[in-house]
């Protein structure tokens, strides 16, 4: 698993114009390939009279799913440069659809590649991206008496408290960078006089 990747913060659309052709790049986060395909279908429905609705998406922290479509543009001039721009920017779990309204001037293969790739790059800058870092899930189980102070200490130290469950004891789920595990374990033992139970779980990604 990579230590981090980038994705888009939200859905957004950015428009550029090249030789009278309008290029509207719609971006959206997509957790699954199905979500990406649904977004492509939605954009196509919104622009039924467009000359082309080309798309590219990358799913998975390791970019395990990559798809691109030229939607009628000459092969390799639209979807591929869009996909290459997403990968060059380390984007994951993201879908891009570039809608083109032809303006009467042919751009040629090189012009199309620059226009479609550039539309995605400009849209990423305009919509904004997030970096997600890899961390370990962990749980801290502590008695009710100490739970409030531990939660406050975690939050004031900038730790990500993901969940708190109350039962016979209080279970606090947190996210920790791998490099912090040893120091955190020592801090927790000191803060709770050794009474807390600390368990490491699997790996996940969270906001940097």
Question: pLDDT of 37-83, one tens digit each?
Answer: 999 999 999 999 999 999 999 999 889 999 999 999 999 999 999 99
Short-list 73, 93, 71, 95, CA closest to 83: 95
The overall average pLDDT reported for the chain is 91
The predicted pLDDT at position 126 comes to 94
Cα separation, 125 vs 111, in Å, equals: 21
Can you give the pLDDT at residue 200?
84
Residues 120 and 161 in one domain: no
Give the containing element (helix H, strand E) for 204: strand 197-207
Pairing, β 94-101 against β 21-29: antiparallel
Residues 106 and 157 grouped into a single domain: no
Determine what percent of the chain is predicted with pLDDT higher than 90. 64
State how many domains the chain has.
Answer: 2
Say if residue 28 is in the same domain as residue 69: yes
Q: What is the pLDDT of residues 110-141, one digit of tens each?
A: 999 999 999 999 999 999 998 888 788 889 99
Q: Which domain holds residue 193?
A: 131-207
Exposure string for 12-31, b = 16+ CB within 10 A, e = fewer: ebbebebeebbbbbbbbbbe
91 with 25, same domain? yes
Greater model confidence, 100 or 179: 100
Res. 147: pLDDT tops 80: yes
Pure H helices in 33-156: 33-46, 79-88, 108-127, 144-156
One domain for residues 18 and 103: yes
The 3-state DSSP class for residue 179 equals helix
**What is the average per-residue pLDDT within 159-174?**
90
Using pLDDT thresholds of 50, 70 and 90, give the confidence band for residue 1. low
């Amino acid at each position: 698993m990579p230590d981090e990747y980038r994705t888009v913060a939200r859905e957004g659309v950015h428009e550029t114009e090249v030789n009278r052709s309008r290029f509207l790049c719609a971006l959206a986060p997509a957790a699954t390939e199905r979500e990406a395909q649904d977004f492509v279908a939605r954009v196509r429905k919104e622009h039924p009279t467009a000359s082309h609705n080309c798309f590219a998406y990358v799913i998975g922290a390791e970019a395990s799913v990559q798809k691109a479509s030229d939607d009628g543009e000459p092969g390799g001039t639209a979807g591929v440069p869009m996909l290459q721009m997403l990968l060059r920017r380390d984007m994951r779990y993201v879908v891009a659809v570039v809608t083109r309204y032809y303006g009467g001037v042919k751009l040629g293969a090189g012009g199309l590649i620059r226009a479609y790739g550039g539309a995605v790059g400009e849209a990423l800058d305009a919509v904004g991206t997030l970096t997600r870092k890899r961390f370990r899930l962990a749980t801290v189980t502590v008695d009710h008496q100490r739970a409030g102070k531990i939660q406050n200490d975690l939050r004031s130290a900038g730790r990500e408290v993901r969940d708190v469950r109350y039962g016979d004891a209080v279970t606090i789920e947190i996210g920790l960078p791998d490099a912090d595990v040893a120091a955190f374990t020592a801090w927790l033992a000191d803060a709770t006089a050794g009474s807390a139970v600390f368990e490491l779980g699997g790996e996940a990604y969270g906001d940097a």
